[in-house]
Amino acid sequence: MEVEAATQQPGKNGSSRQHRSACAATRPFRNPLLVVNFILMVVGSACGPLLLRAYFLRGGARKWLSSLLQTAGWPLLLVPLCFSYRSRRRREEDVNGGAAASWFLMTPRLLVASAVIGLMTGLDDLLYAFGLAYLPVSTSSILISTQLAFTAAFALLLVRQRFTAFSVNAVVLLTIGAAMLGMNAGGDRPAGVSREQYRAGFAMTLGAAALYGLVLPVMELSQARHAARAGAGAVTYTLVMEMQLAIGFVATAFSAVGMLVNNDFHAIPGEAREFGLGKAGYYVLLAGSAAMYQCFFLGTIGAIFYGSALLAGVIMTVLIPVTEVLAVMFFHEPFNGTKGVALALSLWGFVSYFYGEVRATAKHRSDEPPKPEHLDP
């Protein structure tokens, strides 16, 4: 369970990180663990928003509760972490003759960084929950896709992610798609939602996309700085899971405080009795939402570990059509021409970015000097 995959130390110009993200984007299926994280993102991204929207459609109304559900699955990480600790302890005993292995790999500085990211994630979850309460899943998903533009911008500032003409084109296309939805605001307004609520949900969803676009590069930056201090091999997948555990705990605590202030804990039994799927269905839906979102967040931080923040943002963008189709199938949401054009622009932006990464990798390889064994005698 202990995966000792090394993370390269970032250079001053960020070239090693750029090369790593390009290679991950062009050869994703050659790394089995990246494939596992991609599957986790697919499952979480497809099922999480649908379950959370179903909560509101069937009578749920607690925004802080729906925010908490997005990170409440963090205890699930204790199972693989326990297996990892046992494996690490056996290895330490064999190597050091009985010396006890440390319980955690995180340093205090990385723990503080994870706690800050957890607070940011908790606020992002709240904004997203408010948006999903008033918007159709199809509209919300397209708006969330704009996080790729915000991720690219913040990655440029924080981790020196290099911009190309293709990534700029992707940002522009995503921005145009969101603007089109904004001009059509209210055209797909759900029954019972006022125009003011729809506009508030629209703005909060865009805010959630912007904040999560900041969270992803901050995660990558914290991993890179830890690698720079402790050595390239210090960042393992076990450490990544520990980071996600700390992030989930702090974000859940943030939402739990809001629930206490809003008296949500006392309201849950009554809401369960009046829920459209019944009391048992209510609690099953809550548990399923927590599990699906945990899959999504673990897959996201794994994609950052094996690739980059921008790669994680691209994967989330390309999964939009899956959520769109499922929302139309299960909730019979309207899908008008404006949404279709916005979705096409989002996918065009993804293709533009991906093609740019392929070209960047090809150019990097062509610029590399030949290895000595490949030189003519």
Q: Let me know: does 57 contact 50? Beta carbons within 8 Å.
A: no
| Residues contacting 124, CB < 8 A, separation 6+ | 208, 211, 212, 215
Q: Which of 303, 221, 245 is nearest to 45 (CA)?
A: 303
pLDDT at 32: 77
On whether the CB atoms of residues 149 and 350 are closer than 8 A, the answer is no
User: With helix as H, strand as E and coil as C, how does 217-264 read?
Assistant: HHHHHHHHHHHHHHCHHHCCHHHHHHHHHHHHHHHHHHHHHHHHHCCH
Do residues 227 and 234 make contact, with C-beta atoms less than 8 angstroms apart? Answer: yes
| DSSP letter (8 states) at residue 103 | S
pTM summary value: 0.76
Q: Please tell me the predicted confidence (pLDDT) of residue 313.
A: 73
Report the C-alpha gap between 21 and 14 in whole angstroms: 11
pLDDT for position 26: 45
Please report, as a single letter, which amino acid is at residue 248. Answer: G
pLDDT tens per residue across all 377 residues of the chain: 444 444 433 343 444 444 444 444 444 445 677 788 888 888 888 888 889 889 998 998 899 999 999 999 999 888 888 887 787 777 766 666 655 667 777 888 889 999 999 999 999 999 999 988 888 887 887 788 788 778 878 888 877 767 678 878 877 887 777 667 666 655 667 777 888 888 898 899 999 999 988 998 898 888 888 878 776 556 777 888 888 899 999 999 999 999 999 999 999 999 999 999 999 999 999 999 999 998 888 888 888 777 776 677 777 777 777 777 787 788 777 777 777 777 788 778 778 877 776 777 677 666 655 544 444 44
Q: Which residue has the tokens 């629930």?
A: 259
Rounded to whole angstroms, the Cα distance separating 19 from 212 reads 23
pLDDT score recorded for residue 233:
57
Residue holding tokens 């393992």? 236
Taking the alpha carbons at both ends of the chain, their separation in whole angstroms is: 45
In this prediction, residue 184 carries a pLDDT of 62
Tokens of 176: 């145009």
**Which pLDDT value is given to residue 370?**
52
